Structures are given as C-alpha cells and as structure tokens.
Amino acid sequence: MKKINIHYLAVAFTFSSLFFFNWRYGSETFIFFGFAENKELEIRLEHPVSIEKIHITPGMRVKKGEILLEVMRSSLEEEQSNLSHEIAKLGSQYNIWESGIRGSISRLEAQKQAKRAEIITQIEQMESEMSINQSLIKDLKSIQPAKDKSGSSPNEVKIKGLKKELRLAVAPLNSEIRELKNELNAAKNPLKIQIEKLKENLGFSNRETEKLTIPAPNDGVVGSIFCKVGEQFSSFNTLLTFYEENPTQVKGYVHESLILNIQTGDQVIVQSGVQSNSFCNGKVIGMGSRIVEIPERLRKNPTFRTYGREIQIEIPTTNDFLQKEKVVLKLPVENSDDKKIIKALTPPRTSAANFKKKPKIKR
C-alpha cells in the first residue's frame, strides 16, 4: 500500500481553502471590523448636592421613570427664602412709588377742579349780571349798552377772556396728569422688571425642588456610579452613567487604503464576531475627518500597527449584540449573495422603519 505524501495533501488543502475563500468572499468589496456601542448618558446636576440615597447598582436594568438617586440641595431653601424676601422688598418699594404717583395725580386733579370751579364761578356771575342788566333795559330803547368794534359788550369780552384763561389753566394740568398715568401704566418700569425676573428665578427654584429625586430617563442599564451616600457633589460633576438597553450604533474602522470604497448612507451587514447567525442591517451615518490608529483588538495582526478612518453605523435596537462586542462589517457589491441579504433586510421605503425589525434569514 502506497503511503500518501503529506506534501500533496498540504497543497490540496491550500488550494481548496483558496477556492473556498474566493467563492465566499470574492464577490464582496471588503470586510472590516468594529464595536457595538450603547448610547451613554452622563447624569449630572447644575447645582451642588449631597447624596441622600442610592437605589441602584452598576449593571442593574431599570425602567423609565424608576428612581435612581435621592439628593438634597442644602442651599435651595435659603435661596428660595432670599428670593421671596427680595420680591417682597421690591414690591414694597413699588407700592410706595405707585402711591406717590397716584397722590400726585390726585393733587393735580384737585388743582384742576379748583381752578376750573373758580373761573366758571366768575363766568356765571358775569353772565348773571348781564342777564339782569338786559332785563332792566329791555323796555328802555333809548338806553343801549356800550359795545366795542366787534359788537361785543364789555361783559361779553370779559367772559371770553375768562374762558380762554380756563383753557390755558387746565391744559398744562391735563398734560401732566396724562404723563403721570402713562408712567404708572408703563410695562418697562424698572421695579416691575426686577420683580418679574425674581419671580421667574423663584419659579425655577421651586421646579428644582421637584428634581431632588433623579429618575431613569428611559429603559436601560446603569453603568458606573461615582457617588456615595452622604457625599457632597459640586455642580456639573458626573453622578453616574446610564446606557440604553441594546446597542444602537457601531463604531467601525476602515483601513486607510479602502476609505474610498465606503460613503455616508451605504448599507452594510453587521454580524456578530462570535455568533455567525446574529446579524442585522446597518447604515453608515457618519465618517471621521482624520486618519487614526485602528485599535489592537480590530487588527488582523494585533502586533502590527495599522491606520484607518473611523465610521459610525446606525443599527436597529432589536439586536442581540452586547456592549463593546466585536462585530464584522461587510459592504457587498451588486448581485452578490450578501447584496441579496441587504435587500431582504431593507423595507421597500427608506424610513425609520428600516431599523425596527430584524428578519431572520437562513443562510
């Protein structure tokens, strides 16, 4: 029995492998790699607080609205008290100012009425005298009252003068009263503006009281917790991190020699690096503006540094990927088997529905 030459077996195996890979991947433009990522949210507050109670632990799954932390703002009550005191103080000043304006209007109204009454009384007296004189000389045709060139008697001339005096005396008083009323009703009164501003601040402070319990913004997973019970935290410091329940994006790296082969809007197949039957359709939504070093975990040869362009791929929330899971990204060419998968995974119309459901396809 002839012995099988191991060299021939190795050559046959090599050719078979090359044929298989050529058949499997020959129709694809290229394959590259990336990480599945959950959208991370940092929980922080605008004011210094002390931590009263922590209801969660790292890695805990929570529902939207579930209480994560209870905190206390020690300066909140003092701030509200100071604002209320300042509003009352300015309100008192405004009332004093308003009373002064109204008092001035009342005095001017009284002056106007007194002047008007004085002149009208004089006019009425003269008219009464004229009426009496006319009745006395009515039947005496030989006696006629003296008249000026315009045909007016001296009393009539005096009455005209008094009426003109009345108009001249009342007009400036009316103008001053009108100015004071406009000032009283002005919307841009400095005291009014300050009071409204302080009331807005007080309303904001009252709403902040309701935020002393911190709820989960949506369904997701608690990441890192950076605070402890009883600890004081300054403004805008991160209290904890929060992740969406499933990855929604993939950060991929395209080798610098292949960056012209992919563009924003391209459809790609995103496949788990561990489970070959776990995959979904993705869409390129962003591309980096510079060449960066590809992470060691995503290199074909970890010891050999390679460089490429970072891209962002949107994937549906209904996927089985884990946070930071390594995934395989494939951009197929026309008429390839993977192009058919792309079409099968993509609904007829391009819309948000593209990323709502992941159909299962037998390969």
- Which tens digit of pLDDT belongs to each residue from 317-330? 888 888 888 999 98
Asked if pLDDT for residue 248 goes beyond 80, the answer is yes
Average pLDDT on 84-103 reads 84
Question: In which band, very low, low, confident or very high, does the pLDDT at 355 lie, cut at 50, 70 and 90?
Answer: very low
Q: What is the pLDDT of residue 322?
A: 84
Question: In which band, very low, low, confident or very high, does the pLDDT at 127 lie, cut at 50, 70 and 90?
Answer: confident
Residue, of 33 and 183, whose pLDDT is higher: 33
In angstroms, the CA 170 to CA 116 distance is 7
Question: In which band, very low, low, confident or very high, does the pLDDT at 311 lie, cut at 50, 70 and 90?
Answer: very high
Q: What is the pLDDT of residue 354?
A: 44
Asked if pLDDT for residue 144 goes beyond 90, the answer is no
Lowest mean pLDDT among 202-216, 225-239, 276-290, 344-358: 344-358
Average pLDDT on 117-131 reads 79
In the chain, domain spans: 28-39+245-355, 42-73+214-244, 77-205
Asked if pLDDT for residue 20 goes beyond 60, the answer is no
Q: What is the pLDDT of residue 138?
A: 63
CATH topology for 42-73+214-244? Answer: OB fold (Dihydrolipoamide Acetyltransferase, E2P) (2.40.50)
In angstroms, the CA 21 to CA 202 distance is 70
In angstroms, the CA 356 to CA 302 distance is 35
Tokens of 139: 């039947």
Q: What is the pLDDT of residue 8?
A: 66
Asked if pLDDT for residue 142 goes beyond 60, the answer is no
Question: In which band, very low, low, confident or very high, does the pLDDT at 147 lie, cut at 50, 70 and 90?
Answer: low
Cβ burial 287-320 (10 Å sphere, 16+ → b, else e): beeeeeebbeebbeeeeeebebbbbbbbbbeebe
Asked if residue 319 lies in contact with residue 303, where contact means CB atoms within 8 angstroms, the answer is: no
DSSP single-letter state for residue 3: P
Give the amino acid at 143.
I
Question: In which band, very low, low, confident or very high, does the pLDDT at 253 lie, cut at 50, 70 and 90?
Answer: very high
Give the amino acid at 179.
E
Whole-prediction pTM value? 0.44
Question: In which band, very low, low, confident or very high, does the pLDDT at 57 lie, cut at 50, 70 and 90?
Answer: very high
Task: List helix spans (H) across the chain.
Answer: 6-25, 76-136, 154-185, 190-210, 337-345
Half-sphere exposure of residue 198, counting CA atoms within 13 Å on the CB side?
19
φ, ψ for residue 113 (rounded to 5)?
-65, -40
Residue, of 131 and 330, whose pLDDT is higher: 330
Q: What is the pLDDT of residue 333?
A: 57
Kindly indicate whether the domain formed by 28-39+245-355 is annotated with CATH number 2.40.30.170: yes
